[in-house]
Structure 1
């Protein structure tokens, strides 16, 4: 594969997650093209010899130019309800793959509904929500389900020791007013209010945590290809309190890679009849972790390891267990609570 075939545009490269994604692509030998509305914010990339391009969602021609000669585009610019449509459309015009890191359920559903046929016609993949919220839980659930084609109940538990939100997270939270969805009685259904609360016995070091039902994009992603009567997500109350507090500061770098000190643990419990399967994985910094998570997908697509085309969930087009094992081998996560 030529250098041109290994180039990947990163839309929103100047943002918090975008900077991690550019660095991860370089570590993998994939040529990044840093794209943002204001190239002045990309000066640090240009100084390192990374090609920078200007584009905005209001200017389709600028997007066409920005994605020229790329094999794929990673969209890191939220709110994705505002950016995904324009960026996917540009990717399809260019005949290249599209991925993003949205946690927004309506954005994922709209991408599936609107772009599946167009992506198939173009012979490319569109994978929304290939980040910490969304794709990660889907890979865990897909692994846990294994040879089961149906689950009576799927529960995803997310424990964060803290959640210092980025400015982008704050803006998205303010603008995303859509009712959150879960799967109940086999159908996507608005989550009940007030939100359910309970205790979740996570693996160490989190142990028992108070959790609140708070579904993110993983609900729509998992439901895209896995059948279940019930599918719900629970977030630790500690994390929810942090992100809802306007005084909580943004994440601060705590190592040479710019990662924060935040730690996470995500567990998936899948039940079918009297049988239950459980898998969990832990790591550090949900924003930084989204970079190897999505770049692993890009690398597999470029290497011809995706099983299908169209608008897809990651668990439907990748070997979920092998994918997670690869991230563990790279040092990005470790498994817990498996069985």
Structure 2
């Protein structure tokens, strides 16, 4: 258990934010609820036994300063992160506390690295973007699979989702990203992000059993295209999505996730299959679990715990695999029952 340190959850009443609040309490932290809707904050605070609720908006720096005052860290769960990440990071730097977010937006994460790396390093601050299912988990798996390799030729991250019922926040963030790209697609190739208009290929991916071979959409690029190459010498980072999940996401008729157990998790299951290749060598890491939104909470909370207890490897803006011991981090998640992990030679 922790020592009762207060951690701000910005966007606490959102779908992922509620999971983060619960995960913080389970670890002995005291969540401080923040967000722009005072009514929803009050309702959540009352349902959580009277937690501190602090209205704050990304476009009001003074309100953010009030929200972060006297706290140990902030977890930003409020998308679109293209709008919220920079203001909340600025507030965290002013408050002198670490910042973690659950951003899956490729451009928003790239902006965080581009705009805050030097300032955060100079301040000795720790800023961890994309500490979630997309971006964080994949980076941890790739880093752990790399082991003692200093570089690799390519990394493949295949997402085997049983379904994907997107939240309103996911849809809003996707709309912002689509607009920023002018409707183009993006991939990480030859050591850089590349925007293109090519059709996405469909191919078969040999997932481990019991999932087995499944049709996936190739170049279904996720935040891993930012986090992984931010610290690993891998010129080709490719991500894939099961065809059924991609169809769910694309359909405007797919409903939001519905709770199916006592923890509020949906019935969705996932298998993340990572393959790293260097020359003739190949290494693999596999993670299995339930509900991509729910599992983002222990990822973010474990990150905060490690930062506050000094279990970090660097300062500045850093992805999960760079700032933490990736294999040890994954073992902690597995020991906590949040997912299962296999590292295969």
TM-score, scaled relative to structure 2? 0.95
- Distance in 2 (alpha carbons) for counterparts of 1:107 and 1:313: 13
Find the residue that maps to 1:42 and give its secondary structure: helix
2:228 paired with 1:222: yes
Instruction: Give the conservation status (yes or no) of the 8 Å contact 1:3–1:31.
Output: no
2:165 paired with 1:160: no
2:56 paired with 1:59: no
Question: Paired residue for 2:83?
Answer: 82
Question: Paired residue for 1:20?
Answer: 19
Instruction: Give the conservation status (yes or no) of the 8 Å contact 1:306–1:317.
Output: yes
- Distance in 2 (alpha carbons) for counterparts of 1:311 and 1:153: 24
- Distance in 1 (alpha carbons) for counterparts of 2:129 and 2:37: 24
- Distance in 1 (alpha carbons) for counterparts of 2:75 and 2:58: 14
TM-score, scaled relative to structure 1? 0.96
Instruction: Give the conservation status (yes or no) of the 8 Å contact 1:181–1:219.
Output: no
Instruction: Give the conservation status (yes or no) of the 8 Å contact 2:98–2:127.
Output: yes
How many pairs were matched up?
A: 338
Which residues in structure 2 correspond to 1:1-339 (within 5 Å)? 6-47=5-46, 48-177=49-178, 178=181, 179-190=184-195, 193-212=198-217, 213-336=219-342, 338-339=344-345
User: Which segments of structure 1 move beyond 4 Å, counting only runs of 4 or more?
Assistant: 1-4
- Distance in 2 (alpha carbons) for counterparts of 1:175 and 1:107: 10
CA deviation vs aligned residue, 1:92-128 (integer Å, no higher than 9, x gap): 1111111111111111111011111221222211111
Instruction: Give the conservation status (yes or no) of the 8 Å contact 2:220–2:241.
Output: yes
- Distance in 2 (alpha carbons) for counterparts of 1:290 and 1:61: 29
Question: Unpaired runs of 5+ in structure 1?
Answer: none
- Distance in 2 (alpha carbons) for counterparts of 1:183 and 1:283: 26
Deviation at 1:182, TM superposition (A): 2.8
Q: After superposing the two structures, state which structure 1 stretch, 40-49 or 14-23, moved more.
A: 40-49
- Distance in 1 (alpha carbons) for counterparts of 2:325 and 2:197: 34
Cα 1:64–1:2 shift into 2, 3 Å: farther
- Distance in 2 (alpha carbons) for counterparts of 1:204 and 1:256: 28
- Distance in 2 (alpha carbons) for counterparts of 1:50 and 1:287: 23
Instruction: Give the conservation status (yes or no) of the 8 Å contact 2:131–2:137.
Output: yes
- Distance in 2 (alpha carbons) for counterparts of 1:207 and 1:115: 42
CA deviation vs aligned residue, 1:55-94 (integer Å, no higher than 9, x gap): 0011100000000011111000001001111111111111
Find the residue that maps to 1:228 and give its secondary structure: coil
